[in-house]
Structure formats: C-alpha cells, structure tokens
A = this chain, B = another copy of it.
Amino acid sequence: MDTIMERALSGEPRALARLMSRVERMDEESAAIMKELYPKTGRAHTIGVTGSPGAGKSSLTSCLITSFRKMEKKVGIIAVDPSSPYSGGAILGDRLRMQDHALDSGVFIRSMGSRGNLGGLSGSTRDVSLVMDACGYDIILIETVGVGQSEVDVVKASDTVCLVLVPGMGDDVQIMKAGIMEIADLFVVNKCDRDGASKVAADVKVMLDLMPPRAWRPPVSLASAVRSEGIEDILTNIAAHGKYLADTDEGMARARSKIENVVEEILRREIAERVDSAWRELRGGAIEDLAGRRTDPYTLAADILDKIILK
C-alpha cells in the first residue's frame, strides 16, 4: 500500500483528495486502488439527493449534513454536475451554502464533473463514494445539479434515493420524468411554506398508488430547508430505509443486485473501450460500404468481434 492510500485511510483530507483524483483517472492504477480499498467498504450509507434545479437540494443537503454531524457521523458529499467540465476539490459555484461545513474536518466535499471521467460519471461517482466509504465516512450524500438521465444513472447507485420536489414548478412534469418516480426511495416536498406544497405531496401519493406495489413504499415528507423545518422526518425516513435494506430479504436482494450492476458496469466499460478501438479502425470505409449495400451490418459486426473476442 502506498503512502497516499495509507494517509487517506488514516483520515488525511489532502491525501483523500489525491487518492480520488487517481481513481477518477480510470487507468490501471485506479483498478489496483479500487481492488485494495474494496474489502474496507460496505459500512457507509449512501444517499442520493436529486431533483430539478431550484428545488433546494443544496440547502436540504446542508441541513442533512448538520444533522448527521450532530450524531457525530463523518459525512462525505459528492456534488455531481454532468454539465461541468471540472472535477476535484473545488466547490461548484452556487453551492455556497455547503461552505458552512468546509472547515469541519468531519465533512469532505468533492465535486464531480463529466470531463475526464472516461468510464462515465456514474462509474467514477461510485468509485469515489467507495473511496469515502473505505476511508471511514459514515454517510455519503450524492447531490446532483439537475434531474436528467445522467443524474438518474448516478444516484441509482445510492443505497437510498431522495427525490426533492417543490410546489409551483410544473410538478407533473417534474415527477413524471423518465425513471425518476421508479428510483426514488423517499420524496421530499421542499419549500413547504409555499402554496401548493400539500397538493404536490398528495399528487406524489396518487402516483405511487398507480405504480406497481413494491415492498418499500416511499414515504413523502414536507420540509423547508431554509427554515430547517421537517428535517427530522427526513432523517427518520432515511434511517427506516437503511434498516429496510439491512434487515429484509428484499433489501438484501436489492443490495446484491447493485453489486452485480457494478460488475456489469465495469465489464461494459472495458468491453466498450475495446469495441470502440476496433470500430475506429474499420469505421472509415465501413459506413460508406454499408450505405452502398456493399457490405452488411452482420458481416461488419462479425469482423469487429473477430478482433476482440476469444473463440
């Protein structure tokens, strides 16, 4: 084990940041680091916080940090912005609120952008959260900027997915968005002092009724992050969901299927790299030949497979 890893494991923030940067490179060293850290993981509770821009996710995350710190939990935060080219220690522009915690040694904040994450943002976010887990962070909050497909992919890997809604933002559209309802383990209607908050909560419950019943029915909390109201209820729901994952067969099955997804994601990435390089070699004339019907997709696919697959 090299010294950076030792120092990160012993809780040194600068070493932790450097270790994450190495992991994010997704090269051979990254895999070696992850192999070594993996046996030390599995203790943290990872919580994804997602929702439309302006829903108050950062304020809510900040409240959650404060509460978890009161319980003396070490908290890691991963702030994910697929549209940002920047990754690393820097706090994203509008997330000033989180700076309240920047001087707290029990809080570690990491920004993740999309540039330089060859293996995809969801893969690198997962690896960074595993690094935090191995290094003794009890709670890992993964906060997204928006609620697009890449954000959904990112938070899907969390133990508990918290979807933040607000009144007056075209809520039907917000909550019907692709695959969001399906992955949320708990709903928070933020800015609950605004008109329409209880209507949004009621709408969510109706939509949950319309969905196929699941072993875990996502609870719906009303909160006002800026007034620090309703936070206890959210914490109770997060804890209940953690207990559900740990104690029930469905919860265990879900945890296992997530581990399977990790293996699959690594495989996909590795294979995609090899397919891409074989395709780059052939691509030039191939598309023209296909369009001209001088070759066919089946022959071309077989040629690519011959270059990468064992017989």
Contacts and interface: CB of A to CB of B under 8 A. Distances in A.
Nearest to A266: B301
A236 interface: no
Interface string A42-53: 100000000000
A158 to B, nearest CB: 16
B297 A259 contact: yes
B297 A38 contact: yes
Given A263-B301, A307-B310, A296 B173 contact: no
Contacts of A309: 270-271, 274, 308-310
Interface stretch (A12-20, A71-79, A99-107, A285-293): A285-293
| A interface secondary structure, majority | helix
Contact of A270 (B31, B305, B307): B305
Interface residues of A, number: 46
Interface string A160-197: 00000000000011001111000000000000000000
Contacts of A176: 173, 176-177
Contacts of A42: 293
A274 B275 CA distance: 14
A40 B293 CA distance: 8
Contacts of A34: 296-298
Contacts of A243: none
Contacts of A66: none
Contacts of A271: 271, 275, 305, 309
Contacts of A178: 177-179
A300 interface: yes
A199 interface: no
Nearest to A32: B298
A57 B129 CA distance: 47
